[in-house]
Structure 1
Amino acid sequence: MERLAGRIMLLGGAKRAFLAFFAGALGALALPPFGFFAVFFISFPLLVWLLDGISGNPDRGHSFGLRSAFVTGWLFGFGYFTAGLWWLGNALLFEAEEFAWALPLAVLGLPAVLAIFYGLATTLARLVWSDGMGRIAALAAGFGLAEWLRSFVATGFPWNAIGYGAMPIPLMMQSAAPLGLFGVSTLAVFVFAAPALLGTRKGLVPGLALAGLLFAAHLGYGAFRLQELLPAGASSLTVRLVQPAIDQAKKLENADRIDVFNQHLALSAQPVEPGKPEPDMIVWPETSIPFILTEHPDALSRIADMLKDGQVLVTGAVRAEDQGAGQAPRYYNSVYVIDDKGQILSASDKVHLTPFGEYVPYEEVLRRVGFDNLISLPGGFSPASQRTLLTLPSGIGLYPLICYEIIFPDEVDIPAGKAGAIVNLTNDAWFGATPGPYQHFLQARIRAVEAGLTLIRGANNGISAVVDPRGRIISGVALNARGAEDATFGVIAVSNWNNSDRKLNFWLVMLAVASAALISRMGFIFRKN
């Protein structure tokens, strides 16, 4: 192992660049649908050895070392995000004549931008780089900060954070409850990078022992949480998930809109299995109603006719808000609760819009050079100023998150006792049979674990499922499957941790790894002198 580490440290030029890119791309196998988390035990040691090999020659100067560290981290990130996000280009192919020119920007441009955060991570680590376990802690601190920044800088895009690779199954998801995504990501980098110590032997025993202890605690806490019996809910809810699996190209055709609506109604009206309860709630996906519902009272009447006594429909729809004479209406990506009389009981609008899907950032500049929304609405969607809790006639509250809102941990900040479940409506048909829908589903499951709430997820074609507060799938409809699935669950909240606790614990983890890196750096400097 020492010989291999030495050879990697001495690499230069194209070979060095290729290995950094390869190490990142290999790490993408830790993500859904593969979930081979062990590949990170190869990716991160390779990255550590590449960083070890950056010349410390004083003739080159300190700035050269920082630039080299940035380039190495950027190449690692470019490989990781290119291999993990290539499927984004699929969304541009539904209207290829208009958007095909943007394929390189989606497949290579976005990964190139996201890789900057990993370049920042390795640059910060390089500032306090030492030998032994200290440099592993420095890398963990750098990546922890980078993943946190990635969640909000330029509207944020924390998709495929390293921590998700450490949480492929419910046993390994439970650490997200106290630590959150970013705390798990920080410690995951430390654990995954620890085998690099085999290549230099310095700090080998304490480093591997600490990494082994952290990994054992990760699994042990998961086993402890999963063996706990969830408390009985004060009430139960039977939900019918409707996944029509309608091709996105058809959804974009005006002529097919009535047929799309009819398909939703037909699936919703299917009889329940013998001995099973009737659904209390039927769930349709994001923007499943292909017209402005309030402008079509006949559609509300048809929904009322489909619903049985006491049932409600929770559906995604476009909401229009009149701005007065001479002004174009505002459009919102919304969720409605509709009762069996065809009345809209509750509604909530999307807060965190998708760039270039629902609005164009820096619109005045970017529209001039050809950028537009994938969803054709005059002016795009408008964001809501705040999220509105949906309330069912039974009094149960639903916390609504539309599409990719659920990838943001801070969006799931629910006051205790205010919601009985999270409802996430999405349309992953944009991405076809690619890793995208699987990655999106994993991130939604982690939000359920963090919040300690059941997740009700309805997708046009993605993965529709009811997931319990421990991240386990109660029932669902697979990708590319068409159907209606019923699930009954107790309405409970089981988390002992709230969002503020997770933020505090993340920064405590960051303080611990950063302190270890600084102490090691000071000792390293004293030894050199």
Structure 2
Amino acid sequence: MNLNVTANPWFGAATLLVAGALQTLTFSPFHLWWLGPVSAFLILLITLNQASEKLFRSGWLVGLGLFASGASWIYVSISEHGNTSIPIAIVLMVLFVAGLALFHALAFWFWGKLAKQSQIRRLILFPAIWVLGDWLRGWLLTGFPWLYLGTAHTDGPLGGLAPVLGVHGVTFWVVATGAAAYAVWWMSRASRTKPAIATLILALIPWFAAPAVKQADWTELSKDPVTFATMQGNIPQQIKWDPDFLRDQIVAYLGMTEEHWQKDIILWPETAIPIPQDQAGQIIAHIQDRLGDQSTLITGIPWYGYSERIEDNTFHNSIMAIGNGSGIYHKQKLVPFGEYVPLQGLLRGLIGFFDLPMSSFSPGPDNQSPLQANGINVMPYICYEVAYPDFVAFNARHSGLLLTISNDGWFGDSLGPLQHLQIARMRALETGRYMLRGTNNGVTAIINEKGDITERIPQFQRAVLTGEVFTAKGSTPYMQTGSWPVLTLALILIVFVRERVIPKN
């Protein structure tokens, strides 16, 4: 299995950067999902024979290629909305991307430590280490659960695995397919035809089986539709928190809702009411007066008050139901530097980015109840929260509908909002439930239980989306188990490839 592709270190480094960047093309708006296994194959081409001490750097280059191409949208919020000069914004973006790439670096280092110089063990371990690295990235320091390879298969053939194994299970098989392709290629060159054919067949089975599995109805949808309307206000981020424009924003949303007060569920996006609930009594009362008897309006709104859990007054980024419904939900998964500032005693005041409006939120408590809307349990997720697969699946268990609100105006005309929409689609597919998505400037959409968009409106327009949705009963297998079966399989493979089980040669 000795190849000479790593003889030129510059060629190897460039290939790893390209392999990482190719993964960005698997996601929205490109949807080139088939590049996932290609990326894994290229990575193995360079790293399978590398000395273990070089794998940390190789993993970092892969991560750098991925995040520099797929997550550089953070620059828009830092530069355009964070009152930060262009040079400092570039430095912060580079630090952000380089820091995220360390997760890949650590995963590859661990891969080399476990497999040592055995190419066979490295091939077997590759998908396991990849998934464990993804899981760690989504958990450590509040996590960054973004750009998982499996997410691309909302539009790919492996999407049928999502309700069974979740996004990490899909990722596992994408990477395993790349490893199998490498093994088939190597065995073919060594004239080992029968093992190569067997490996190829095994690798392709899920690709042919998953589309059929996707047709299975894991949940039961109601026969009676729920009428729905959501308002995309397209409020410029520059005036979002300006008190002089507060009235204009509320009037805009009220005007857009004028013809829809009788809908079963009406949705306004994240912080559509940009003042705390304790100061918004007149606005809330006016909404209650306008709503139909069987109508519920759900809106994003900051919450301020005393928290027994925190034992102090605090702000929450929240969403509340008004009218023929009830409940308020406080966001649990906060965005670092956007909604809270780590080490704020040191960072506050250094640059404008660390003093963004409403960057002093506290996380809400665990195990919050769904909102009630016309007798329907609606589980809300605010912005970034929808990116956490196990968090969404666990909280969806006692709900008939899922709902997410966001203000992606922070990221302008970048890849971020489109990736965010695709992530919401994966959550709908994993849970077998409709996902209602309301945003300030797009993408506002209705997503069905198969992860398909049934209705949407364009970005950067003030518009209203209407449609019908259906509640769901029951749970998908993934909702019952979460990612633990896939993570357990990864750990079993680590035990299995010990040197005394599979020797070096």
Is 1:116 aligned to 2:106, yes or no? no
Residues 354/97 of structure 1: CA separation in 2 closer, same or farther (3 Å cut): closer
Residue 169 (structure 1) aligns with? 155
Cα distance, 1:310 vs. partner? 2.1
Residue 249 (structure 1) aligns with? 238
Residue 15 (structure 1) aligns with? 11
- Match among 412, 428, 443 for residue 448 of structure 1: 428
Q: Is the 8 A contact 1:163 1:185 kept in 2?
A: yes
Cα distance, 1:334 vs. partner? 0.4
Q: Is the 8 A contact 1:30 1:40 kept in 2?
A: yes
Residue 181 (structure 1) aligns with? 167
Partner secondary structure for residue 246 of structure 1: coil
Partner Cα separation in structure 1 for residue 433 and residue 54 of structure 2: 45
Alignment of 1:276-425 (within 5 A): 278-322=262-306, 329-339=313-323, 345-367=326-348, 369-370=350-351, 373=354, 375-377=356-358, 380-414=360-394, 418-425=398-405
Partner Cα separation in structure 2 for residue 129 and residue 206 of structure 1: 24
Task: Compare 459-468 and 411-420 and name the one that shifted more.
Answer: 411-420
Residue 265 (structure 1) aligns with? 254
Task: Compare 195-204 and 499-508 and name the one that shifted more.
Answer: 195-204
5+ residue gaps, structure 1, are: 55-64, 273-277
TM-score of the aligned structures, taking structure 1 as reference length: 0.86
Cα distance, 1:36 vs. partner? 0.8
Deviation per residue, 1:224-275 (Å, 9 max, x gap): 3326597441653211121122221231433222111111111112369xxx
Residue 454 (structure 2) aligns with? 474
Task: Compare 501-510 and 258-267 and name the one that shifted more.
Answer: 501-510
Is 1:195 aligned to 2:181, yes or no? yes
The aligned amino acid for 1:248 is Q
The aligned amino acid for 1:279 is K
Residue 136 (structure 2) aligns with? 149
Partner Cα separation in structure 1 for residue 429 and residue 223 of structure 2: 20
The aligned amino acid for 1:450 is E
CA RMSD, Structure 1 to Structure 2 (Å): 3.0
Partner secondary structure for residue 413 of structure 2: coil
Partner secondary structure for residue 34 of structure 2: helix
Deviation per residue, 1:494-515 (Å, 9 max, x gap): 5331445233321343145435
Task: Compare 207-216 and 122-131 and name the one that shifted more.
Answer: 207-216
Residue 20 (structure 2) aligns with? 24
Partner Cα separation in structure 2 for residue 106 and residue 443 of structure 1: 25
Q: Is the 8 A contact 1:17 1:75 kept in 2?
A: yes
Residues 190/516 of structure 1: CA separation in 2 closer, same or farther (3 Å cut): farther
Deviation per residue, 1:72-92 (Å, 9 max, x gap): 111111111111111111112
Residue 212 (structure 2) aligns with? 223
Partner secondary structure for residue 298 of structure 2: strand
Residue 71 (structure 1) aligns with? 57
Q: Is the 8 A contact 1:337 1:345 kept in 2?
A: yes
Deviation per residue, 1:324-359 (Å, 9 max, x gap): 9xx98411100010117xxx8311111111100000
Residue 107 (structure 1) aligns with? 93
The aligned amino acid for 2:340 is Y
Partner Cα separation in structure 1 for residue 88 and residue 155 of structure 2: 35
Alignment of 1:15-54 (within 5 A): 15-54=11-50
Partner secondary structure for residue 229 of structure 2: strand
5+ residue gaps, structure 2, are: none
Partner secondary structure for residue 5 of structure 2: helix
Residue 58 (structure 1) aligns with? none
Residues 328/204 of structure 1: CA separation in 2 closer, same or farther (3 Å cut): farther
Cα distance, 1:370 vs. partner? 4.3
The aligned amino acid for 2:481 is D
Partner Cα separation in structure 2 for residue 509 and residue 524 of structure 1: 21
